[in-house]
């Protein structure tokens, strides 16, 4: 992710195009934390909520709604905007969603 960070003699350095500046490990971690804090979160198609005895599969995007219509039975039990899923089925369903190129949170 950080192609401009490299190690030189065991010390991380930042390539600036002009000269390499030494960077301590703590400075590198602070820089990475800052960069991650200002980056937008990737879009999510589904949210999975764990309610222990059941899971709720909540489609968020149109692509997610289309996936549900294509791959899940028509008579699914819906509750609070989500689809009720037994714990034993949530893993394979989540994998099918990921295999279709959709994002799950």
Lowest-confidence range among 17-26, 75-84, 95-104?
Answer: 17-26
Q: What is the pLDDT of residues 31-58, one digit of tens each?
A: 888 887 887 777 899 999 999 999 999 9
CA–CA dist 32, 13 (Å, integer): 13
Cβ–Cβ under 8 Å, residues 76 and 44: no
The answer, as to whether pTM is greater than 0.75, is no
For the segment 15-33, the average pLDDT, to the nearest whole number, is: 74
The answer to whether 12 and 3 are in contact (CB under 8 A) is no
pLDDT surpassing 70 at residue 100:
yes
Domain boundaries, the chain: 5-38, 46-99
């Amino acid at each position: 992710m950080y192609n401009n960070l490299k190690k030189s003699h065991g010390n991380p350095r930042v390539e600036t195009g002009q000269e390499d500046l030494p960077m301590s490990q703590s400075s590198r971690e602070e820089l990475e934390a800052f960069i991650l804090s200002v980056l937008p979160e990737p879009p999510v198609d589904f949210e999975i909520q764990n309610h222990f005895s059941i899971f709720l599969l909540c489609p968020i995007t149109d692509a997610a709604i289309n996936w549900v219509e294509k791959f899940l039975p028509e008579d699914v039990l819906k509750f609070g905007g989500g689809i009720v899923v037994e714990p034993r089925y949530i893993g394979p369903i989540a994998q099918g969603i990921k295999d279709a190129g959709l994002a799950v949170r």
